[in-house]
Amino acid sequence: MQIYKVGGAVRDRLLGKPVTDIDWVVVGATAEEMLAKGFRPVGSDFPVFLHPKSGEEYALARTERKSGRGYGGFTFHASPEVTLEEDLIRRDLTINAMAEDEQGVLTDPYHGQQDLENRLLRHVSPAFAEDPLRVLRVARFAARYAGLGFRVAPDTLELMRQLSKSGELEALTPERSWKEISRALMEDHPQVFIQVLRDCGALKVLLPEVEALFGVPQPAAHHPEIDSGVHTLSVLEQAALHKQPLSVRWACLLHDLGKGLTPQSEWPQHIAHEHKGLKLIKQVNERFKAPRDCQELALLVGQYHTHGHRALELKPSTLAELLQSFDVYRRPQRFEEFIAACEMDARGRLGLEERAYPQADYLRGAATAARTVAVQPLLEQGFKGPELGEALKRERLKALKAYKEQYSQ
């Protein structure tokens, strides 16, 4: 029995990056031998075991063969005869197909170290094209390592194009797709993830609503970058630079989908794109079964982001409706995330990345002013039921009028 550290742990150590998760491969062992040593079995598809003390995952060396469509369409074979090289060749990228033994000796049969040095994301073998999930994974690695100068190797990008055309991407489950998309959006350069998907033709399969934004012009006065798709990538880039949470990044990706529906005769104007985009945002949310907080924020940002930009011009009554739409009295954090998404939208414009966004503090102040209206005095005045709700609305509106007057002075 020989035990090797494999995959990401080896790659990240060679890159000088912190190693968080460690995967181990066991060569020359049977499941019975693992159980005899106290390892606990997990996973039904192939033999994976948890170490009795560390809890880390140890997998028996295995081969795999394509047997159906999609990510799950594989049969696995694990036995003591499977070699380390056979186990490594089934992996996606050469930089993930290296192993280290317990003395730290590197096994690198597919030249992963060389590709690390050349900053290349290259497939290990032609079998890469059998697994559609790898399109998303490679795009995610491109987003993770873009800051180090990594790029997708041309021959790997070609295989990704073939996969995108094959119909295999449609076989991915919403859960698997969302797992990769959400992880990619949280990388340092999520815009690279979207760009790589576009380069290989996967974006028009997975997110045709985002693909449709490219080539659609916007008014140069507000959008010096002109192109709606380029703007979306820039907004995503700003969200990552400002360390925004996943819900904000998802909303940033989807906020302008309505612009893809504008008739060409109306370009570069996009009248009512906020409202038109809601059905598209809803369909993307449902396609990937995005978590509820991501779904809700994306819809609210899509509908109200221009309100955010025009915050200083809004009438107190419109401001009151906006706060009510966000349920700001019970869910203040969601409104804070809306403000963040609006600010990223304002900064995601060519040459305007550092521009001040006074709307953010103005909206926060408005929310505070409305929230400070106390219910108790109204109860003491005898208001109850629907009447209490109306009285509360009136008092909040008064508070917002006072806030706006004070701000204008």
Q: Give one DSSP letter per residue of 99-128, joined into a string.
A: EE-TT--EE-TT-HHHHHHTTEE-BSSGGG
Confidence of residue 78 (pLDDT cuts 50, 70, 90): confident
Confidence of residue 274 (pLDDT cuts 50, 70, 90): very high
Is 151 annotated to bind a ligand? Reply is no
CB 244 within 8 A of CB 201: no
Total tally of structural domains belonging to the chain: 2
CB 290 within 8 A of CB 327: no
Is 55 annotated to bind a ligand? Reply is no
Confidence of residue 73 (pLDDT cuts 50, 70, 90): very low
Which residues face 40 on adjacent strands? Answer: 50
Is 72 annotated to bind a ligand? Reply is no
CATH value at residue 61: 3.30.460.10
Both tokens of 147, joined, read: 């800051």
Using a 10 angstrom Cβ sphere, with 0-12 exposed, 13-18 middle and 19 or more buried, the burial of residue 298 is buried
Q: Which of 110, 132, 167 is where one domain is finished? A: 110
Is 396 annotated to bind a ligand? Reply is no
- Which positions ≥6 away from 92 have C-beta within 8 Å? 123, 124, 128, 131, 134, 137, 138
* Position 87 in a domain: yes
Per-residue confidence (pLDDT) for residue 146, from 0 to 100? 97
**294 HSE (CA, 13 A, CB side):** 21
Q: Which of 110, 143, 174 is where one domain is finished? A: 110
Nearest to 255 by CA among 316, 202, 308: 308
* Position 205 in a domain: no
Confidence of residue 81 (pLDDT cuts 50, 70, 90): confident
Both tokens of 198, joined, read: 């576009």
Q: Which of 86, 110, 134 is where one domain is finished? A: 110
Report d(CA 39, CA 54) in Å as an integer.
10
Which residues face 27 on adjacent strands? Answer: 2
Using a 10 angstrom Cβ sphere, with 0-12 exposed, 13-18 middle and 19 or more buried, the burial of residue 150 is buried
Report d(CA 154, CA 204) in Å as an integer.
20
* Position 208 in a domain: no
What domain range includes position 388? 372-408
Report d(CA 392, CA 386) in Å as an integer.
10
Per-residue confidence (pLDDT) for residue 75, from 0 to 100? 62
pLDDT at 66 over 80: no
Report d(CA 181, CA 288) in Å as an integer.
9
CB 64 within 8 A of CB 75: yes
Is 11 annotated to bind a ligand? Reply is yes
- State how far the alpha carbon of 119 is from the alpha carbons of 15, 95, 145, 352, in Å: 10, 10, 9, 31
Per-residue confidence (pLDDT) for residue 408, from 0 to 100? 84
* Position 190 in a domain: no
Both tokens of 196, joined, read: 């790589």
* Position 75 in a domain: yes
pTM score of the predicted model: 0.92
Both tokens of 278, joined, read: 């809601």
* Position 183 in a domain: no
Per-residue confidence (pLDDT) for residue 76, from 0 to 100? 66
- State how far the alpha carbon of 340 is from the alpha carbons of 221, 306, 334, 344, in Å: 23, 13, 10, 6
Higher pLDDT, residue 31 or 74:
31
Report d(CA 54, CA 310) in Å as an integer.
55
157-200 pLDDT per residue, tens: 999 999 999 999 999 999 999 999 999 999 999 999 999 999 99
Q: Position 275: which residue type?
A: H
CB 202 within 8 A of CB 231: no
Confidence of residue 295 (pLDDT cuts 50, 70, 90): very high
Is 198 annotated to bind a ligand? Reply is no
* Position 67 in a domain: yes
* Position 278 in a domain: no
125-150 pLDDT per residue, tens: 998 988 999 999 999 999 999 999 99
- State how far the alpha carbon of 239 is from the alpha carbons of 166, 181, 232, 280, 340, in Å: 33, 15, 11, 21, 8
Is 91 annotated to bind a ligand? Reply is yes
Give the residue ranges of DSSP H helices in 123-153.
133-145
